Amino acid sequence: MKHRFRVGLGGRMAAMALFMSLALSAVGLYISYNQYTRQLETYYQGLGENLTRALAERLAGEDLDRYMDDHDAVDERYSELNALVETMRVGSGVPHIYVMQPSEEGYLIALESAVIPGTDYYQNSYQGLGGALAMNNFPLSRVQAMEGETFEPFRVEDSMAGLLLTVGTPIRRWDGSFSGYYAMVDIILEQALGSVRSFVHNAAWLMGSAAMVLLLIYFLLIRRNLIVPIKRLAGAARSYVEQEDRQAFRGMTFKGGYEFNDLAKTFQLMLAEIEVNNLEQVETAVQEQKRAGDAQVANGLRIAMRPKELPLREGGYPFTLSGKTRHDQGLICCFYDYFLLDGERLCVLVGEAPGQDLTQALFTVIAQTTLKSHLRSSVSLEQAMREANRQLYEMSGGQLSVELMAGVLDGTAGRFSCVNAGGRTPLFLRFREERYDPVEIFSYAPLGQCEDVSYQAVELELSQGDRLFFHTGALSAIKGTDGSEFGEERIRQSLNERRTRQAELERQLQLVGDAGEAYAAHSIQICPYAMLAVEYCRRDQAQAHCVLTGDAAGAAALQSFLRGQLRSNRVPDQEAARILVMADELFALCRARGEERDRFMAECVTVREDGLIILRLRGAMGGRDPLDPPEDSALRGSADFVRRSCQRVLFESGDEGDTVTAVKRLERPDGAGTAEAT
C-alpha cells in the first residue's frame, strides 16, 4: 500500500519548537526594547524638567529684559548667567541649555550654552544674545508661548544629531506672573537608543543560541524518548489495519517509557475487546432479528385482540361503549372486546394475563378467541366460562391463566349478567345517584388456572343513563413516588369527580388514564392496561333521562329528547308545542346561572293517572334559583312565562348540584281535564 509523503511527527514538532523559539524571542525582544526605550525617555524627560526648573528658579526676568532691550548693556552679571548655564550643561551631561524669549519677531535667545557640535537643528549658527531660533516643531503657537503656557516635552528628528528631546519650563517672577522667557534643554536620544539597539542585538544572538541549544536537546532526547516510540506504535497499528501483523503490539516494550508501555498494553486489550465486540455484534444482529420477529408477532397480536366495530343499525343501539388500551410498541397481554350475540344482546370482555412475554401474549389471544367461540354458540354465560376454562386448562396444565371479567347486556330488558374470573371488580353508576360504586360480585379463579370451576353470574337491572366501568389490574397497580399503588379507591375517586362523571365515555376513559399517569413515579414503568365503559341508553315510555351541554347544542338536544318523549306518550301536538316552548325558556334560565362548559341532566316523567308532565333539570347553577333573576334582567320575562305555564316550579340546592323541577298539567283536547291515558 503506497503512502503519500507527509511530514512526520518529529518534523512537525521540530518546526513547532523552532517557531515557538523564534516567536518567543521576537516577542521578548520587542517588549524589552519598548520597555527600555520608554524608561530611558522617562529618565531624560525628568532630567530635562529638573534642569529647566532649577534654571528658571535662578533667573530673574528683569535682568533678562535689560539685556534683551540693550545688547550693549552686557556686563559681568550676564557673563555670570552664561557661565551658570554652561556649568549646568557640563554638570548634567546634556548637550544644550538655553533661555529664549517668544516675541513677535520670533524665538529670541537670551542665554545659551555651547551650540551642539555637528548639528543643523538651528538653521543659524550661534549668534549669542538676541539671535533668532527657527523652532518649527515647537508645540505652542507664538501667542500661547507669549502668554507663558506650559507644554509637554517634544521630540525632533535632526538630520545630523538624530533624535532630540526638548524640554522647557516658563520662567516666573516673584509674584507668579510670566516673565516672558522659557528655560529650555535639548537632549540627544540617539546615543542612548544606540545602546538600547546594541543590547537588543546582543540579546537576539543570545536567545538564538539558546534556541539552537534547545533544538539540539530536542533532537537528542525528545526524539529518542518520544518520537521513536510513537513511530513504533503507529507502525504496529498500521500493520494491524493492513492485516500484515495482527500481533504487532504483543511483547512491545520501551526503555524508560512506562507511559508507552502502558499504551502498548492498552492497545492489546483494545484489540482483544474488538474481537469480543465483533462476536457480540453477531449475537446482537441475531437478537435484533429476533426482536423484529417478536415485534411483527406483537403487532399481529394487537390486531387480533382489537375489537371489531359494531355494524351500523338504523335507530342505533340501546347502549354506547368506549374502550382504551395503554401500551407501548412491544407485546401486550391485556385486552378489551365487545361483540353482539344477537341484535339486542351485547357481550363485553376485559382481561389480562400475568407476565409480559410472547407466551402470555399468545395465551391471551387464545383465551379471548376460545371464550368468544363458546359465547357465540348460544350457551349461557356461565356455561361458556366453564367450557372455556376447561379447554384452556387442558392446553396449559394450569401454568398459564387469564384474569377476566365477562358480561352480557340485554338491551331490551336492561339486564346485565357478569362473571368475574379473577378480574377487577367493575364500578357501577346509577344515573339517579350520580356516584360510581363497586359491584358486589364474587371473584372466581382465572381462566385456565384450575380444571373445574363452577362460575356463577350476577345480574344487574339497568336504567337509562346507568354506566359500567371495567379495567385490568395494571391500572390500579401503578406505583407512585412513595411506592404505593394507584389502587381501586383512587380509580373510583377519579370517576366520581364531576367533570369525569359527566363526560362522554371516551373522554371519561382519557381522564382516568391521565389521573393514573399523573400518579405514576415514572410513566415509562406503567405496564399495559385496558379499560372499557358501557352506558345503557334505552328509555321507557313513562320516564327518561338525557345529558345536556350548557350551550345551544344542549338546547337543541333537550328539544329532541322532549319531542320524542311526548310523542311516545301521545301528547297532542298543540300541548306538546307549549311544553317545548316552556322547557326551552326554563333551560335558558338554568344556563344563565352556570357556565357554557357545565353539563345538565334532564329528566322527563309522565304521570298518566294525574295527567302531569314533570321536567327536572340538574346542574351547577351557583346555588341560586334561575327563576329569580334581577328586576332589570332581560330574563325576567322568561321566568314569569315559565311560572304562568306550570302548576308548580321548585328549586333545590345540594352538594351534588342544583335542581329545578317544573310540574305542568296536561289538558284534555276539550280543555276540561286530564288527558286520557293511553
> Are residues 383 and 493 part of one domain?
yes
- Whole-number CA gyration radius for the chain: 56
106: left (phi over 0), alpha (psi -120 to 50) or beta: left
Q: Point out which residues pair with 165 in neighbouring strands.
A: 155, 187
Residue ending a domain, among 170, 195, 220, is 195
Q: Residue 470: inside a domain, yes or no?
A: yes
φ, ψ of residue 388 to 5 degrees: the values are -65, -40
Residue 386 has pLDDT above 80, yes or no: yes
Q: Residue 22: inside a domain, yes or no?
A: no
> Are 348 and 338 in contact, with CB atoms under 8 Å apart?
yes
Q: Residue 149: inside a domain, yes or no?
A: yes
What pLDDT was estimated at residue 606?
81
Q: Residue 637: inside a domain, yes or no?
A: yes
> Are residues 569 and 478 part of one domain?
no
> Are residues 154 and 134 part of one domain?
yes
Residue 517 has pLDDT above 80, yes or no: yes
User: What percent of the chain stands above pLDDT 90?
Assistant: 20
Q: Residue 566 sits in a domain of what CATH number?
A: 3.30.565.10
What pLDDT was estimated at residue 7?
59
Task: Read off the pLDDT of residues 95-152 as tens digits, 9 standing for 90 and up.
Answer: 888 888 898 888 888 888 865 544 444 433 345 677 778 777 888 888 888 888 988 8
> Are 530 and 364 in contact, with CB atoms under 8 Å apart?
no
CA distance 381 to 388: 11
Reading the block at residue 49, the C-alpha cell is 524638567
Residue 390 has pLDDT above 90, yes or no: yes
Q: Residue 378 sits in a domain of what CATH number?
A: 3.60.40.10
> Are residues 605 and 571 part of one domain?
yes
> Are residues 550 and 532 part of one domain?
no
Tell me what the mean pLDDT of segment 611-616 comes to: 87
Residue ending a domain, among 473, 501, 536, is 536
Comparing 24-28, 361-365, 446-450, 615-619, the range with the smallest average pLDDT is 24-28
> Are 337 and 349 in contact, with CB atoms under 8 Å apart?
yes
Residue 287 has pLDDT above 80, yes or no: no
> Are residues 637 and 526 part of one domain?
no
> Are residues 610 and 496 part of one domain?
no
Reading the block at residue 184, the C-alpha cell is 529650555
Residue ending a domain, among 195, 214, 236, is 195
What pLDDT was estimated at residue 677?
31
Q: Which of 344, 360, 342 is nearest to 352 (CA)?
A: 360
> Are residues 606 and 485 part of one domain?
no
Residue 182 has pLDDT above 80, yes or no: yes
Reading the block at residue 578, the C-alpha cell is 307549549
Burial 161-199 (b: 16+ CB within 10 A, else e): bebbbbbbbbbbeeeeebbbbbbbbbbbbeebbeebeee
Question: Between these two residues, 254 and 210, which has the higher pLDDT value?
Answer: 210
Q: Residue 53 sits in a domain of what CATH number?
A: 3.30.450.20
Q: Residue 563: inside a domain, yes or no?
A: yes
What pLDDT was estimated at residue 342?
79
Specify the number of domains making up the chain. 3
Q: Residue 70: inside a domain, yes or no?
A: yes
> Are residues 189 and 322 part of one domain?
no
Tell me what the mean pLDDT of segment 48-71 comes to: 81
> 420 lies in which domain range?
306-536
What pLDDT was estimated at residue 2?
47
Mean pLDDT of the chain: 80
What pLDDT was estimated at residue 405?
94
Residues 6+ apart with CB under 8 A from 366: 392, 395
Question: Between these two residues, 233 and 147, which has the higher pLDDT value?
Answer: 147
Residue 650 has pLDDT above 80, yes or no: yes
pLDDT band for 1, please (50, 70, 90 cuts): very low
Residue 614 has pLDDT above 80, yes or no: yes
Question: Between these two residues, 668 and 368, which has the higher pLDDT value?
Answer: 368
Residue 75 has pLDDT above 50, yes or no: yes
> Are residues 476 and 340 part of one domain?
yes
Task: Please report, in angstroms and rounded to a whole number, the separation of the first and last CA atoms in the chain.
Answer: 107
Tell me what the mean pLDDT of segment 301-306 comes to: 68
Ordered DSSP codes for 439-456: ----EEPPBTTSS-----
Tell me what the mean pLDDT of segment 288-296 comes to: 62
